[in-house]
Homo-oligomer: A and B are copies of this chain.
Amino acid sequence: MYSYEYPRPALTVDVVIFSLRESRLQVLLVQRAEPPFAGMWALPGGFVNMDETLEEAALREMEEETGLKQAYLEQLYTYGEIGRDPRGRVVSVAYYALIPADARIRSEGGSDARQAGWFSAQALPALAFDHAEIIAYALRRLRYKLEYTAACFELLPDEFTLSQIQHTYEMILGEKLDKRNFRRRIQQAGIIEPTPHLRGGEGRPARLYRYRSDAVAEVKARRLFP
């Protein structure tokens, strides 16, 4: 049934790393030093080693670029079009990662001494390979995920204000939400709890909340048919 004599496609992982920075949803990209696509920006990624799982490979790539050893990580899709890499047959398993707004990230490029940078998900530079397609799909999945799970909290710091959550939603979904309705719903959902802390700044100080890790935060989808 299986044989080991066939030529094999090369197998890589690519990671779409999302974070909230400068009040925007941003994506981490690296600049390619060599052809093909030299000088263009691309997703962090690379070969899957023989002794690591796909997820381990994705985490390794993420750590090389950000210094972070863990984050919310989810497999996105596997890209296997014939001509997607001009150098040969390369199949790539794409992942996306969410990292908290306050995470301390190694600012300069990782081990490869490649240039790395954050870009607004709404305004990406020209991208190598099929990476524009991958990011577009990751963004769709993130929006979608946000609509029926509590994935949002993976992007927020440990403690946050209600307005911060709302802004996160507005940023990612790309629409304004009603403040009173939003607050009522999120409080009734029972997935956050108040902390004793307030956060000052301009205007009236705001209550800080935290995510309840015991929360069940899946919502039943509205069915097409009942």
Chain B residues positioned under 8 Å from A144 (CB to CB): 221
Q: Verify if A104 is at the interface (C-beta below 8 Å from B).
A: no
Q: How far is the CB of A26 from chain B (nearest CB, A)?
A: 22
Q: How far is the CB of A133 from chain B (nearest CB, A)?
A: 14
**Copies of this protein in the complex:** 2
The A187-226 residues at the B interface (CB cut-off 8 A) are: 189, 217, 219-226
Q: Mark A117-149, 1 if CB is under 8 A from B, else 0.
A: 000000000000000000000000000101111
Q: Is the CB of B226 within 8 A of A219?
A: no
Q: Given the complex of chains A and B, what is the CA–CA distance between A165 and B224 in angstroms? A: 12
Q: Given the complex of chains A and B, what is the CA–CA distance between A90 and B221 in angstroms? A: 35
Binding site for B on A (CB under 8 A): 1-4, 6-12, 32-34, 46-55, 75, 77-78, 80-82, 85, 87-91, 93, 112, 114, 144, 146-150, 165, 169, 177-178, 181-182, 185-186, 189, 217, 219-226
Listed from nearest, the 6 A-B pairs whose CB atoms lie closest are A54-B80, A222-B222, A8-B8, A78-B78, A219-B224, A147-B223
